[in-house]
Structure 1
Amino acid sequence: MSAEEEAQPSPRATLSAGLKYRKSIGLKGVEYEGYLAKKGKGESAMGRRNWKDRWGVLRANGILEYYLTKEDSKPPQPKQPKGHVTLESVFPEDDNARHAREHCFVIHAKERDLYATGGSKEETNKWINAIEKVLDQIRPDASDDGINGEKGASPAGTPTVPSIDPIEEKIKRAFPKTIFMQNKSGKRTLKAASIDALLWHITLADAESVKVFLLTFRAYMEPTELLDRLKTLYFEERREGIEDDDKQIRIRRFKILNLLKTWLDTFYHDFKVETDRGMELLDKYERVVEETFDETGDKKSAEILHKLVHKKVERDNSADSGAPALMRQSSRRFNQVDKIKGAEAENKVPILPTQSDWTLVDIDPIEVARQLCLMDQELYTAIHPKELLNQAWSKKMKNERSPNVLRLIERFNMLSGFVTTEIVKRPQIGDRVRMISWFINIASRLLEFNNFNSAMAIIAGFSASPVYRLKKTWADVQKQKKLWQEYENVKKRLASEENFKALRENLHKADGACVPYLGVYLTDLTFIGDGNPDTVEEDGETLINFFKLGLESVVILEMQRFQNTPYEFRAVPKLQKLLRDVENMEENQAYKKSLEVEPREKKR
């Protein structure tokens, strides 16, 4: 019976078979375990491959077992698993529809490829992270032989010498000016390095360092240059100071495969086929794959990457590719609204006036908030990591380097200007109070929907001088105690005190779709940029400040956390057009209008 075949040992043989199995493959400790549904090899009568619910157990030596139940894996009478595979790599599966399951991932193993799901996004991510961690630990540097076979048990009576981090030792032999540092947890991490040293380090480092690299490399290198350098590194068998054996070379090449796969899978924005630059990069990517993996006979790796390229291109060329991916996902989910019962379905139906000639201010605040969520999220999810590096949104060529950040900033300013304009242009105090009430209700609904960006824009509109000075108007608003309390609650949740402490706490609690206040992240990135240089000088050599990029990546990853879950509201094009075409007075004009509707009180 092969390792991955389903097995049903007899009850009498269960104990001995389970223990014999453990001894035969030298099992190590459990790194992670949990629910794991896997796609079977066989097919049903309808020609589909069946999914089977299992209890997965991930071992520290890279063995993934799957049992019928959790109890089957536990002592004192552990059973033989239904199957096991030897891990080689793991990737998220972005085409869940063809598997008829959500949150899938694919495991590349020695025995076969295995499609699986943790059942939820959170559990799937836990599985992927745990597998990546185990794979990072299974490398020559962590083996008994160590680097160049120098690591091993000390002879009897020999004093134990504190071990040096093997990755640092290896990199510094080839690139002596590379700088490492000790982080808060005591781990040695890369601080500054040349591009060559950085690339070598990435082939040895953990998944977290690879993620930081892919998020930030555009700060000092074009994607085309990275492809060229990865190809060179793939074929480089020896480097002065680094004497890799054949096994270490194979692992380095496998790391390069993983990096290329993760780059295309997770940062596909670089390769978007609707842009000439993206098409050129994608063509070069395929050439590099052919000139590396194909030419060295690694057909399986080449096939994995070629399939991923074709899948991505096919998705880009699909009929609805004009809409952002997140919006298409939201649309597909909304098409299932008919299956939702009762109030939940009603909540997804747009709330619009019965008359056909309605204007923007006739709309229910809930529906205005919904459409703002959809519009803001479209802009927010389009922001690419490269737009956030080196404060690109405030530097030369900012429109080319940071277009989506600037669009969201423009949307914020437009909404806050609209708030100011709609209030000051109304000569009657009662109308101004009603407009303020309308906007407060919108802001409150926005916070219910986790749209902190537009909620903050409304508060900014209230804080503008032309509105803020309307003392009589605000006095009448304050008389409506329930409305005033709602306004105070909105301001409290968005307060800027202590570096937006309250807002940050609300962001961390946010569940589901969310549009954060962009200004918080831009402030953090500006603080990091102003306090840390882009490069570090070491004995006459200019090194890339990888420590700074790591700090920036923490902020960028926090931003990306909210780019994956779509709002499930139905778009109302007419209402969205009205929101895009809102009236905005110039600041001087708005202030003049404010003085007209509520003149300064004469001094006595």
Structure 2
Amino acid sequence: MQASLGGGGPGDGACDAFFFFPGNYAPDSVVFSSILGPSHRGQAQPGMGERGSGASSSGDLVFRDGHLISWSLEALMEHLVPTVDSYPDRTYVFTFLLSSRVFMPPHDLLVRVGQICLEQRQQLETPGLRRVTLLYVLPPQAKLKSFSAKIVQLFKEWTEAFPCDFQDEKAMAELKAITQRVTLSDEENGTVKKAIAQMTQSLLLSLAKLRSPAMDKGSVLKAKSPATQKDILGMCCDPLVLAQQLTHLELERASSIHPEDLMQMVSHMDSRDKHRCRGDLTKTYSLEAYDNWSNCLSMLVATEVCRMVKKKHQTRMLEFFIDVAQGCFNIGNFNSMMAIIGGMNLSPVARLKKTWSKVKMAKFEVLERHMDPSSNFRNYRTTLQGAIQRSQMAKSSPEKIVIPVFNLFVKDLYFLHKIHTNHLPNGHVNFKKFWEISRRIQEFMTWTQVECPFQKDEKIQKYLLTAPIYSEEALSIASFESEGPESRSEKDSWKTLRTTVRNRARRQECSQQTLDEAHTCTEL
């Protein structure tokens, strides 16, 4: 079975392993319906229908095996706008709207699309200009209504797929201005006006959800937990149930990520970008929160192990988390599985040789093989491809779950973006590259929309999100207190750590004395 993200053969370079374009490459045609919505038209081949007077001067389309691979940016924008005779392929609409933000802010694209719409409308309104459409001749009024309906459908798909593009007042004003021009031809039955009203209402609801207070995203938690606190086994002793609750939390957090968030993250790793894909001042919170969640889970696993005083309790905790990771693997929740294994591989846990010697290692070794980083995580990619195929053929919800290792997913997108140029030598946009980026992002968004079929346990989830976790320093202290240092480097680390803790305690004591003296002087 071949990995979907490319494992690469022996001797392949890292870049080649991340991405390869076969000669007959074409983007997947399946688009997630909950984002793009139903289409009232069939898909049209790129280039069908008139494109307006500027199309011929914008550069020729370049196809390979019947698929668009490059074109000028202006021509791509013109191709986005429907005509009386054609409607752009929905996959193309999503791909271009997503990738265009690498070249220009969404508001600028909206303005240009509005201009193209107006130009096409003016052509249709020109007296005496009659165009044969398929098998009959449309009268001017019918042409305008047909064109208006398609323009509304385009903006419906845009607002559903990327509501964040319309967060600011300028974008909303521009959208309103464009739709007002469109409705001038719809005075008889108001069909287009009704469609615009429904689109606007749906957009406002989407924006309201984005502005509403966000749920707890699992931010990095504080300090050292008290020894008297209940441990995870006191909350949940069934590893499968815990794996299911982790899957709930993963899907909740992943579903808050938007396609443009991923494009922003990828494109902003390149310092040449001159604008942000979404937001001018801050990074997207949903991506940071998801990354923090994975880090927190690793630290929680390490904390639960290191805070155990007795070896037998540490052993039991390690075996419990191995079973939880196995449960996550069986479900298809690879992100939690990786975070749990990462927590057990943190130095303060990994160095507990006496504890590990009592652990049944067979399951853990199998899990580590799946996450083996050699050959660009070939084993993991093969397993992921199997989960994807299971999801595509699934008849029940549990089999549809695919939660990839998020850091690897983002790195793949980044290398795909980095090693293939945005423009070809002739100045055309390398649209083949953006087809593939869009395909992978669409696939990720499809996975995040799967409804979690497991029963939710609020108490367990609350513990996972709010249980205090040890800092790296506290983990090291607990580890050395459990098993003393053996190697020279460990002894040096332990000595440095104790010195740091003592010096900090002295500074805090001196600071407290100074505050007490100042308070006494004030009273006098």
TM-score range, shorter chain: 0.5 to 0.7
Find the aligned partners of 2:100 and 2:256 in 1 and give their Cα distance: 19
Following TM superposition, by how much is the alpha carbon of 1:402 offset from its aligned partner in structure 2, in angstroms?
3.0
Map Cα deviations across residues 218-255 of structure 1 (whole Å, 9 max, x no partner). Answer: 2223332232222211121489xxxx964678677665
Q: Which amino acid aligns with 2:192?
A: S
Following TM superposition, by how much is the alpha carbon of 1:295 offset from its aligned partner in structure 2, in angstroms?
5.1
1:259 paired residue number: 154
Map Cα deviations across residues 107-141 of structure 1 (whole Å, 9 max, x no partner). Answer: 75xxxxxxxxxxxxxxxxxxxxxx623xx159965
Find the aligned partners of 1:471 and 1:366 in 2 and give their Cα distance: 27
| 8 Å Cα contact 2:325/2:336 also seen in 1 | yes
SS in 2 for 1:446: helix
Find the aligned partners of 1:408 and 1:445 in 2 and give their Cα distance: 21
Counterpart check, 1:565 vs 2:450: yes
- Greater RCO (CA < 8 Å, at least 6 residues apart): 2
| 8 Å Cα contact 1:495/1:502 also seen in 2 | no
Q: What is the Cα-based RMSD across aligned positions, in Å?
A: 3.9
| 8 Å Cα contact 2:71/2:430 also seen in 1 | yes
How does 1:86-101 map onto structure 2 within 5 Å? none
Q: 1:92 to 1:373 in 2, by over 3 A?
A: closer
| 8 Å Cα contact 1:231/1:292 also seen in 2 | no
1:520 paired residue number: 408
Query: 104, 109, 117: which is aligned to 1:221?
Result: 104
Find the aligned partners of 2:53 and 2:89 in 1 and give their Cα distance: 15
Following TM superposition, by how much is the alpha carbon of 1:570 offset from its aligned partner in structure 2, in angstroms?
4.3
Following TM superposition, by how much is the alpha carbon of 1:376 offset from its aligned partner in structure 2, in angstroms?
1.7
1:209 paired residue number: 92
Find the aligned partners of 1:218 and 1:245 in 2 and give their Cα distance: 36
Query: 176, 179, 192: which is aligned to 1:301?
Result: 192
| 8 Å Cα contact 1:512/1:565 also seen in 2 | yes
TM-score by length of 2: 0.65
Q: Which amino acid aligns with 1:211?
A: F
Identify unmatched segments of 5+ residues in structure 1. Answer: 1-90, 96-104, 109-130, 142-146, 148-166, 272-276, 325-356, 479-483
Query: 393, 412, 417: which is aligned to 1:529?
Result: 417
SS in 2 for 1:595: helix
Query: 337, 343, 347: which is aligned to 1:465?
Result: 347
| 8 Å Cα contact 2:32/2:446 also seen in 1 | no
Q: 1:297 to 1:191 in 2, by over 3 A?
A: farther
Counterpart check, 1:377 vs 2:251: yes
| 8 Å Cα contact 2:102/2:267 also seen in 1 | no
Query: 42, 48, 53: which is aligned to 1:132?
Result: 42
Point out the structure with the larger strand share: 1
Q: Which amino acid aligns with 2:368?
A: K
Following TM superposition, by how much is the alpha carbon of 1:283 offset from its aligned partner in structure 2, in angstroms?
5.0
Following TM superposition, by how much is the alpha carbon of 1:408 offset from its aligned partner in structure 2, in angstroms?
0.8
| 8 Å Cα contact 1:446/1:455 also seen in 2 | yes
| 8 Å Cα contact 2:111/2:174 also seen in 1 | no
Map Cα deviations across residues 274-296 of structure 1 (whole Å, 9 max, x no partner). Answer: xxx35664454233211223357
Q: Which amino acid aligns with 1:408?
A: Y
| 8 Å Cα contact 1:393/1:405 also seen in 2 | no
TM-score by length of 1: 0.57
Q: Which amino acid aligns with 1:257?
A: V
Q: 1:579 to 1:93 in 2, by over 3 A?
A: closer
Find the aligned partners of 2:33 and 2:289 in 1 and give their Cα distance: 31
1:23 paired residue number: none
| 8 Å Cα contact 2:47/2:79 also seen in 1 | no
Find the aligned partners of 2:187 and 2:425 in 1 and give their Cα distance: 42
| 8 Å Cα contact 1:286/1:306 also seen in 2 | no
Q: 1:106 to 1:410 in 2, by over 3 A?
A: closer
Find the aligned partners of 1:548 and 1:202 in 2 and give their Cα distance: 18
2:78 paired residue number: 200
Counterpart check, 1:287 vs 2:169: no
Find the aligned partners of 1:537 and 1:563 in 2 and give their Cα distance: 37
SS in 2 for 1:132: coil
How does 1:104-123 map onto structure 2 within 5 Å? 108=40
2:261 paired residue number: 387
Point out the structure with the larger helix share: 2
Query: 191, 194, 200: which is aligned to 2:70?
Result: 191
SS in 2 for 1:561: helix
Query: 547, 565, 582: which is aligned to 2:467?
Result: 582
Q: 1:226 to 1:296 in 2, by over 3 A?
A: farther
Counterpart check, 1:486 vs 2:358: no
**What count of residue pairs does the alignment treat as equivalent?**
400
Counterpart check, 1:413 vs 2:304: no
Q: 1:436 to 1:235 in 2, by over 3 A?
A: same
Find the aligned partners of 1:312 and 1:236 in 2 and give their Cα distance: 26
Map Cα deviations across residues 520-577 of structure 1 (whole Å, 9 max, x no partner). Answer: 3112111112202334454xxx654433322211220121121221113444444333
Find the aligned partners of 2:423 and 2:309 in 1 and give their Cα distance: 57
Counterpart check, 1:477 vs 2:367: no
Q: Which amino acid aligns with 2:156?
A: K
Q: 1:570 to 1:283 in 2, by over 3 A?
A: farther
Q: Which amino acid aligns with 1:261?
A: K
Counterpart check, 1:360 vs 2:245: no
Identical-pair percentage: 22
Q: Which amino acid aligns with 2:367?
A: V
Following TM superposition, by how much is the alpha carbon of 1:453 offset from its aligned partner in structure 2, in angstroms?
1.0
Find the aligned partners of 1:279 and 1:268 in 2 and give their Cα distance: 13
Identify unmatched segments of 5+ residues in structure 2. Answer: 1-30, 124-128, 134-142, 216-228, 392-398, 489-524
Map Cα deviations across residues 317-354 of structure 1 (whole Å, 9 max, x no partner). Answer: 69xx8688xxxxxxxxxxxxxxxxxxxxxxxxxxxxxx
1:450 paired residue number: 332
Following TM superposition, by how much is the alpha carbon of 1:381 offset from its aligned partner in structure 2, in angstroms?
0.6
1:234 paired residue number: 117
Map Cα deviations across residues 260-309 of structure 1 (whole Å, 9 max, x no partner). Answer: 121123333544xxxxx356644542332112233575943332232232
| 8 Å Cα contact 2:148/2:183 also seen in 1 | no
Q: 1:278 to 1:378 in 2, by over 3 A?
A: farther
Q: Which amino acid aligns with 1:419?
A: V
Find the aligned partners of 2:448 and 2:192 in 1 and give their Cα distance: 30
| 8 Å Cα contact 2:94/2:161 also seen in 1 | no
Find the aligned partners of 2:358 and 2:53 in 1 and give their Cα distance: 72
1:403 paired residue number: 285
| 8 Å Cα contact 1:535/1:543 also seen in 2 | yes
Following TM superposition, by how much is the alpha carbon of 1:213 offset from its aligned partner in structure 2, in angstroms?
1.2
Counterpart check, 1:598 vs 2:452: no
Q: 1:278 to 1:486 in 2, by over 3 A?
A: farther
Deviates more, 1:220-229 or 1:436-445: 220-229
| 8 Å Cα contact 1:374/1:567 also seen in 2 | yes
| 8 Å Cα contact 1:494/1:502 also seen in 2 | no
| 8 Å Cα contact 1:524/1:555 also seen in 2 | no
SS in 2 for 1:236: helix
